[in-house]
A and B are shown apart, each in its own frame.
Chain A
Amino acid sequence: MILLTGLLFLLILLSASCGYIKIPFITTLKIIYGKLFHKKEILKGINRTFISVIWDVRLPRIMSAVFIGMSLSVAGVIFQGVLLNPLADPYTLGVSAGAAFGASIALVLGIFGLSYSVPIFAFCGAISTLAFVIFLSLSGSSITSTNLILSGVIITAILSAGISFIKFLADEHVSVIIFWLMGSLASKTWKDVLLVFTFFLFGFFISYTFSKELNLLALGDKIASSLGVNTNFLRILLLTTASLMTSICVSISGIIGFIGLIVPHFMRFITGADNTRLMPASAISGGILLLGADTLSRTVLPVELPIGVLTALIGGPIFCIIFKKRQKSLYQSE
């Protein structure tokens, strides 16, 4: 855990010094230190442009990437733990699409001169999508993996059509929505960082408080209940929290898929399924992964790829592999 945290800080510094304008590592460190603790004397003699590039351009983007990666991973841990399904994540369940649909409505209304809160619309979209997907996949009182993913796909398809319609309505302003939908971390401000950070902290606090109870859900509803857990309350609380975190991320950066699926999946190999360990470990590695991906797309690739496109291009195939492996193991255990 300490190792991961160290890695994250190193990556933040490294990422801050890389880019179109190369800034020496030490200078980066000095700027961050000076700005963070208001030490004017340290900042003296450093190129003004450097300070502005690091503090006003790169760091907000970097910190957004970190907290969005963290939020999406923790949301993934929750979805997988509550729905007892290692394939669940905000993206595969359609929650991200729901949030995007809500946010697009807010955006298009904004174009027409009505100012509505994008995050609130995103949250309403996310939570109602989640409720509907669960309703759709309920057979009796149990939810099967296949039903859940299938419902998620269906709803995502419908919502995508809805989003296309909104794009059509947006007419010449359509580029705003398109660009945002592809998932981008470019031109984020400290205001955005503060928003994601606040909700990450809040969401993580709630979900970590109930991580032990989340473990018990794996024993099945009845046993968890017989151990003294109020299972319905717990599920609703955690799913709402996860949807809230997802919708804040979506409202800021558009749809960034598969982070919430892949990170918990691979962290389980290291920490095991125990959520008291899995959750913090996933949070930190989620931050590392998304920042790493964003830094790569910003510095190494010839053209800057929207981060949502990049994660889907990498995450999609990994999802296929996990899915196929699971089919095999299910087949063998029959």
Chain B
Amino acid sequence: MSEVIIEAENISFSYAKKKVLDSISLKIEKGKFYGLLGPNGSGKTTLLDLLMGIKKPDKGKIFLYKKDLEKYKKSEIAKKISLVPQFFKTDLPYTVEEVLFMGRYPYMGKFPIPSSEDKKMVLEVMDLLGIKGFKNRYITNLSGGERQLVVFARAIVQDTSIIFLDEATSHLDIKHSLKILNLIREKVKKEGKTIISVFHDVNLASMYVDKMIFLKNGKLVKAGDLNEVLKKEILEEVFEVKCEIKKLSGYMYVIFYKEGI
């Protein structure tokens, strides 16, 4: 077992009176790609929010690199965890380059002058994702796919060892999705990054992740290695849909049946 970098102990969280997360305990290991799955409203996004300190748990404790998350300053967490959300929309015409430089905010001083390292990082990432060509375009004028690529690039520029993806590819076509996920997979393998990604598509997840975490009604149903937890019984329990698992050219595929709902 590799080094545990995030550890959640019995965390619970409620909105008003509704319990969104119910005593969840979880260990996240370094250099692994985690898929976070569950039906709508199962608490996936809230779990990510808690793990990166955007929200505070009502009960329980979270440790980031063995240190209590509450003892971190926000600016310190920003150097360790970055976030790629589902989509973002703005009416203000920032250029692609400006958005990428915003990702360097945790490393900048009080004055808005990027260092040579900031500039190098932004250039590298633009090359990596092939978005150099539209660095001066306004994000308000980009297509959905292009914009999501920029949002993703902004998180990479933040240069953190942990990256959270919250349905980062849900609004993308299959080519853009695979492009982003390939890059993520590459980052895990080469640079030992740790990823937790919320997926809606089980089959897309199973192509990429090392481990899966299943949530339902705010409770942890199962977490573990892909081949141990991607099971018919577990999927049927979590999603309440009949299914079957087939192996095809090295990948595991889940086939869902429309009957029996």
Contacts and interface: CB of A to CB of B under 8 A. Distances in A.
Nearest to B79: A228
B188 interface: no
Contact of B83 (A86, A209, A222): A222
A80 interface: yes
B261 interface: no
A216 interface: yes
A225 interface: yes
B224 interface: no
A279 B92 CA distance: 14
Interface SS of chain A: helix, strand, loop or mixed?
A: helix
B16 interface: no
Given A212-B108, A216-B105, A226 B91 contact: no
A209 B25 CA distance: 41
Nearest to A330: B91
A26 interface: no
A113 B87 CA distance: 58
A109 interface: no
B176 to A, nearest CB: 17
A: contact size bracket: 20 to 34
A211 B73 CA distance: 21
B: contact size bracket: 20 to 34
B90 interface: yes
B91 A84 contact: yes
Interface string A296-334: 000000000000000000000000000000100100000
A158 interface: no
Interface in A190-215: 209, 211-212, 215
Interface stretch (A40-48, A65-73, A171-179, A268-276): A268-276
Report the 9 A-B pairs with minimum CB-CB distance, sorted nearest first: A228-B78, A228-B75, A228-B74, A226-B83, A276-B112, A273-B92, A273-B94, A220-B88, A218-B90
6 contacts: A81-B92, A218-B94, A219-B102, A220-B85, A228-B74, A268-B93
Given A222-B83, A228-B75, 20 more contacts: A80-B92, A84-B90, A86-B91, A86-B92, A145-B91, A212-B105, A215-B102, A218-B94, A219-B154, A223-B83, A226-B78, A227-B103, A228-B76, A228-B105, A272-B93, A273-B94, A274-B94, A274-B98, A326-B91, A329-B140
